[in-house]
Structure 1
Amino acid sequence: MTSTAPTSTTASIPEPAQAQLRILRVLVASQILSGAGLAAGVTVGALLAQDMLGTTSLAGLPSALFTAGSALAAVAVGRISQARGRRPGLATGYLTGAIGSAAVIIAAVLDNPFLLFIALFVYGAGTATNLQARYAGADLAAPGHRARAVSTVLVATTLGGIAGPNLAAPTGSFAEHLGIPDLAGPFILSGIAYALAALVLALWLRPDPLLLARTVARAKEADGTANPAATDTSEGPGGVVLGALVMVLTQLVMVAIMTMTPVHMHDHGHGTAASGLVIAIHIGAMYLPSPLTGWLVDRYGRMKVAAASGITLLAAGILAAAAPGDSVALLALALALLGLGWNLGLVAGTAIITDTVPLATRARTQGLVDVSIAIAGATGGMASGIMVAATSYPALALTGGVLSLALLPAVAATAYRR
């Protein structure tokens, strides 16, 4: 009997591999934009608060606030993505970040610290969305290529992330021409960048990667060709806990040291351009190694790279503590190691979470995990200013480095159980 037209339920579904290429291109474009929005605010947030409040002890509060705001946004973006797909979830998050950026500018013009803190909380939505986008890159990826898909999305942030801090001084000058305090200038860039990222995703993230992944999985199930191992390499609750722990610790250490570095440099006579350069190098190291990190995770395993993250963060903390305050080069190297350690932990932890959580609950669980990451960042940001005021920046850096070693026994225990 001759064959007729295909009757498979997968016949009308877009080819996942082809869709994945388009999705990655769109995500890369949005991440370049959002990277500029994220980095610009990080560069001057602490300095803006210090200028308004006249004290260093609360200079870590902006980082804590926009990181706390990212915690709430992570839940919202995760829930919207779970219910409606990645496109509306990510676009809503970036648009909220743009609104927060505009509010920061208004607060600076009015010299209103209370409004500034509310605005920074809202601005945090952009940070959460920038991180959540990495999960969208892995939705349609094969299990053995998930880390590389995640890394492709992350590395795109590098271009905007490096440009953003280096535009701090020019945007500050532009803001002064408009009658806006110069430290609020980078938030003009943030607002525009986040708004454009939202527009790119809303218009072009089609098909929606999470919705298509679910459709493909259901179709394979209906055809009797589903391979559970291909979509869920679950390690049980322990996998979620380990993946979250890796990302939480790396975020805590990274945010704490990063937040106070511009303040530390400012106290030693360095200007915005110098601190912007150091933060740009740091953010470049956070994202630029992603392709190599993704390959290492897929090739050598999640556990080994997670352990390497802890060791790298320790080296960063020791160098930051030992570097003379007038040495931009050594501080830049320390912050580069800090960014690299964070990158290793984020890619490894994300791969562990994506492997562990099934599609049916993936976006919601990923959002909740990112909440814990955001809370860790908020804690690190807030505690950093208090600790530096009470002790010193070197003490903060060294404490962060030592704390990162907690990753090693956790990874060793999981590897032993396996």
Structure 2
Amino acid sequence: MTDAALTVAEQAAIQRRTVLVLSIGQVLGGIAFGATVSLGALLAADLSGDDALSGLATASVTLGAALCAIPLARLAARVGRRRALTLGNMFALVGIAVVILAASLRVFPLLLVGILMIGAGNAGNLQSRFAATDLAAAQHRGRDLSIVVWATTIGGVAGPLLLGPGEIVGEAIGMPPQTGSYAFSFVAQCAALLLYLVALRPDPLLSAQRLATAAVAATGVAVADRPVVARYAIFAVAGSHVVMASVMAMTPVHLAHMAHGAHGMAPTPADVSALVGITIALHVGGMYALSPLFGILADRWGRLRVVLLGQLLLGGALAFAVLVNDEEWGVMVALILLGLGWSAATVAGAALLTESSAPEVRTRRQGRSDSLMSLSAAAGAVLAGVVLSNFQYAGLGIAASVIVLAIVVLSPLGRAKP
């Protein structure tokens, strides 16, 4: 049976299987990314001999995602999601091998190349959430997208948890120190690649393109393109991501300063690590745990309303960051709200971008959104360090609130007519 002849029930069944496959792929693919985030800075500091260069690991993985987002999206538009996603997996596999080789040879620039390629693979992971919308019914688009976003947290949490077992396995098979968990990452990426090749059939994007073509031929009515709305959605997603990434990146530094200034005594490194770990864990929980709820709300309330709900939550987070930043509980509440606001804005903004773009330009805009999101977050994290050093944590909260205000003020663009 051709795509054009699919019944509603058959299309819904294919969509359910697609979302399941993408979610499992996100779990598998996220393991490599989680391990890189955890180990990249440590390996960079070790191989370079300079702690100041450890941040280049994070910069490399972000740059890799930004550089490959648009090419992978264009590839998907031509040959389908399956090939684009598997190419992302292949980038990550090569990147893992290069990282292990760099650690073995102790070559710092080679390490950055490997981490950049893992970041390129993560561009495929980002694309998965849009793949979940290709065949989704309009009334379930936000929900389906959010389920795949939610699955990200499993791989992201599993990656760091595998560090200890990974070192045991790595030592047993002769891998360089601090690279053992990449053995698990390599296996997970291979499994994700095979999963997409075998199970992501029919290809959701190619099927959606054929359905759209058949619908136009039958009715003579093409899907309206709303470029102004699409540009606003890209801005809202990128802006929300900048607010989240910049404040989150500087929170460990602020908490360390707080801990050293509390009670008139120096805390132990374990105390600082525990405080930072608990706070960031709560933040990550806020980012992903409720994403299905925000997806359902986006379907029922409308995309723009949930984008604005995200700005309300981000605004609340920044208020705590400005007014209660000298209390540990205040910072924790700020980071939880920060994660929740990011989740609402990202899920609803991605759905708004998808449905406001005509099929022929949709994947290209999705790639631009992912690329801009990664690049702006990297720039925001760098600028956040400057703001923190000169204006403290409260100043960072005030600076970030300007972006939230801009997203709210420009929100009428999210309702613009074609």
TM-score for both structures, normalised by structure 2: 0.83
**Is residue 2:62 matched to residue 1:67?**
yes
TM-fit CA distance, 1:211: 0.7
The 3 A distance-change label for structure 1 pair 107 and 392 is farther
Q: Is the 8 A contact 1:40 1:189 kept in 2?
A: no
Structure 2 letter corresponding to 1:361? V
8 Å contact from structure 2 (residues 325, 393) kept in 1: no
Shift of 1:384: 4.2
Superposed CA RMSD in Å reads: 3.4
1:167-182 correspondence runs (5 A): 167-172=162-167, 174-175=169-170, 178=174, 180-182=176-178
| 1:306 maps onto 2:334 in alignment | no
> What is aligned with 2:293?
292
| 1:275–1:204 CA distance, 2 compared to 1 (3 A) | farther
1:214 CA drift (Å): 1.5
Whichever residue aligns with residue 357 of structure 1, its letter is: S
Consecutive unaligned residues of structure 2, counting only runs of 5 or more, are: 260-268
Partner of 2:263: none
Return the match for 2:157 from 145, 158, 162: 162
* Residue 415 to residue 204, structure 1, CA distance change in 2 (3 Å): closer
- Structure 1 residue 209 corresponds to structure 2 residue 204: yes
Q: Which structure 2 residues correspond to residues 250-265 of structure 1 after superposition, within 5 A?
A: 250-261=240-251
Q: 1:211 to 1:145 in 2, by over 3 A?
A: same
Secondary structure of the residue that 1:15 maps to in structure 2? helix
Greater Cα offset, 309-318 or 365-374:
309-318
1:315 corresponds to:
316
Cα distance in structure 2, aligned partners of 1:265 and 1:134: 33
* Mapping of residues 227-246 of structure 1, within 5 Å: 228=222, 232=223, 234=225, 236-246=226-236
- AA matched with 2:340: L
- Correspondence for 1:97: 92
C-alpha distance in 1 between matches for 2:409 and 2:201 = 42
**Could you say if the C-alpha distance between residues 210 and 189 of structure 1 is closer, same or farther in structure 2, counting changes exceeding 3 Å?**
same
Q: CA deviation at 1:149?
A: 1.6
Kindly provide the amino acid, as one letter, of the partner of residue 377 in structure 1: A
Query: 1:394–1:127: structure 2 CA closer, same or farther, 3 Å change rule?
Result: farther
Letter in 2 for 1:253: V
Summarize the Cα distance change of 1:374–1:24 in structure 2 as closer, same or farther, 3 Å threshold. Answer: same
Query: Given the superposition, is the C-alpha separation of residues 406 and 165 from structure 1 closer, same or farther in structure 2, using an over 3 Å criterion?
Result: farther
Contact 1:247/1:373, CA 8 A, preserved across alignment: yes
1-structure distance, mates of 2:97, 2:276: 23
Q: Secondary structure at the match of 1:138?
A: coil
Aligned partner of 1:84 among 72, 79, 86: 79
CA–CA distance in structure 2, aligned partners of residues 13 and 353 of structure 1: 24
Deviation of 1:313 after TM superposition, in Å, equals 2.3
Inter-CA distance 112–324: structure 2 relative to 1 (3 Å threshold): farther
Q: 1:332 to 1:192 in 2, by over 3 A?
A: farther
**Structure with bigger RCO (C-alpha 8 Å, 6+ apart):** 1
Which stretch of structure 1 is more off in the superposition, 307-316 or 186-195? 186-195
Task: Name the CA distance, whole Å, in 2 between partners of 1:388 and 1:173.
Answer: 39
Comparing 108-117 and 122-131, the one that deviates more: 108-117
1:319-351 deviation per Cα after TM superposition (whole angstroms, max 9, x unaligned): 4564569x5x66554433222221111112111
Q: Give the 3 Å change call, closer, same or farther, for CA 45–324 of structure 1 in structure 2.
A: farther
- Whole-angstrom distance in 2 between the partners of 1:135 and 1:199: 20
Which amino acid in the other structure matches residue 131 of structure 1?
Answer: L
**Per-residue Cα deviation, 1:152-205 (whole angstroms, up to 9, x for no partner):** 2111222222323333444356556646333x4554444433332222112110
**Equivalents in 2 of 1:281, 1:186: separation in Å?**
24
Conservation of the 8 A alpha-carbon contact between 1:87 and 1:205: yes
1:360 matched residue in structure 2: 360
Identity of aligned residues (%): 36
1:76 Cα deviation from its structure 2 partner: 1.9
Give the whole-Å Cα distance in 1 for the aligned partners of 2:22 and 2:2.
Answer: 33
- How many angstroms apart in 2 are the aligned matches of 1:250 and 1:340? 11
Kindly indicate whether residue 28 of structure 2 is the aligned counterpart of residue 33 of structure 1: yes
Quote the residue 2:266 is aligned against.
none
Map 1:127-146; keep pairs closer than 5 Å. Answer: 127-146=122-141
Deviations 1:370-418 (A, max 9, x none): 2111211221244345555666566545533553332111114545889
Q: Check whether the contact 1:264–1:393 (CA below 8 A) recurs between aligned residues.
A: yes
**Comparing 300-309 with 87-96, which one deviates more in the overlay?**
300-309
Q: What residue number does 2:347 align with? A: 347
> TM-score, structure 1 length as denominator?
0.83
Distance change >3 Å, CA 399–CA 11, structure 1 → 2: closer
The aligned amino acid for 1:200 is L
1:21 aligns with 2:16: yes
What is the letter of the counterpart of residue 191 of structure 2?
L
Give unmatched runs, 5+ long, in structure 1. 1-5
Question: Is the 2:233–2:414 Cα contact (8 Å) retained in structure 1?
Answer: no
SS in 1 for 2:5: coil
In the alignment, residue 375 of structure 2 is paired with which amino acid? I
- Is structure 2 residue 117 aligned with structure 1 residue 122? yes
AA at the equivalent of 1:146: R
Q: Residues 221 and 256 (structure 1 numbering): CA distance in 2 closer, same or farther, change over 3 Å?
A: same
Contact map agreement 1:163 1:280 (CA 8 A) in 2 = no
Deviations 1:209-267 (A, max 9, x none): 01111222223334x24664xxx353x22112101101111222222233344566678
Match of 1:101, as an amino acid? I
C-alpha distance in 2 between matches for 1:146 and 1:383:
35
Distance 1:315 1:165, change over 3 A: farther
1:55-76: CA deviations, max 9, x gaps? 6655543222211111121112
Distance across 1 between alignment mates of 2:256 and 2:122: 24
Deviation string for 1:66-121 (max 9, x for gaps)? 11111121112101101100000011112212322332333334443322222222
2:310, 2:341 within 8 Å by CA — same for their partners in 1? Answer: yes
Contact persistence 2:69–2:371 (CA under 8 A): yes
For residue 301 of structure 1, what is the amino acid of its counterpart? G
Structure 1 residue 279 displacement after superposition: 4.0
